[in-house]
Amino acid sequence: MSARDKAEAMRPLVGITGRRFQLSVLTGADPRYGDRCIDASMSDFATRIAEAGGLPVHLSYDTDAEAVCAWLSGVVITGGQDVHPACWGGDTSVVRDIDPRTNPMVHDTERDAYEIALVRASIERGIPVLGVCRGMQVLNVALGGTLVPHLADGPVSHLSDEIAPTDGTVDHVVTFEQGSVAADLFSTDALTNSWHHQAVARCGAGLVVTGRTSDGVVEAIELPGQPVLGVQWHPEWMKSNDPALMWIVEQAMQRLTSQVPVGQEQRSPR
């Protein structure tokens, strides 16, 4: 078997970001170490990435963003709490003085800093990036963009009451720009789920909007010429197989195979 054949038989490492909170948040946790922290990411990401042929790995905040990029072939920035408004010039008066370790839904500056650094390091090295919900907003902020702090009620329900997993409701149809990566994956439009109250406002450097709902809310962004995609919905919680997660694995595999020189039989850090 040639070195290239061996490379193609490998499965690309796809890093998945998550949250950090105290064990005391979990019902039934042993109180003797309730003030210790646990790192967690939604297992649906790992399951679907594995099914698509990737090797999912969880990235804690302690994983140096620069160093870990030597090993990863793809990165997924996942959903969660709002990005701290100080990161994008928003109103900081909305920030509550609550420890994010005891309430995983409040602003977490440590997570923000890590994910922003990871996005920048990945893009600099050409590592494929998929941003999901909050992750799409992190992608935008990392490149200097801004956010809509709160979406007003309107004809499209963005903060859905639907229980995951779901393919969404009939009002939440995303229309994609012709010729975009998103259009290649989803065709002209797609019905998606939705659980967000913030959105992309001004795009960061180089990013373009490639998907919107009928009310104009940004639902997909891309970095033309690079394998970078952000989606505002949750592909890991779609009942149907969502092409976005298959896309990140395919892009990661392309990077992995392209980085193995002919005649090199073992993978080394890039």
DSSP 159: B
- State yes or no: is 236 an active-site residue: yes
Pick from 89, 94, 88, 82: nearest CA to 141: 88
If you write DSSP's letter for every residue of 127-152 in order, what string do you get? --EEEETHHHHHHHHHTT--EES-PP
User: Cβ–Cβ contacts within 10 Å for residue 31, how many?
Assistant: 8
With contact defined as beta carbons under 8 Å apart, do 250 and 242 qualify? no
Rounded Cα distance, 73 and 155, in Å? 40
Instruction: List the catalytic residue out of 219, 222, 236, 250.
Output: 236
Rounded Cα distance, 229 and 41, in Å? 20
If you write DSSP's letter for every residue of 10-75 in order, what string do you get? S--EEEEE-EEEEGGGSTT--GGGTTSEEEE--HHHHHHHHHTT-EEEEE-TTS-HHHHTTT-SEE
Instruction: List the catalytic residue out of 158, 219, 234, 250.
Output: 234
Bridge pairing between strands 228-231 and 218-222: antiparallel
- State yes or no: is 197 an active-site residue: no
DSSP 233: S
- State yes or no: is 172 an active-site residue: no
When computed from its CA atoms, the radius of gyration of the chain, rounded to whole angstroms, is 19
With contact defined as beta carbons under 8 Å apart, do 229 and 241 qualify? no
Helix/strand number for the chain, H first, E second: 7, 13
Instruction: List the catalytic residue out of 133, 196, 219, 250.
Output: 133
Active site residues: 133, 234, 236
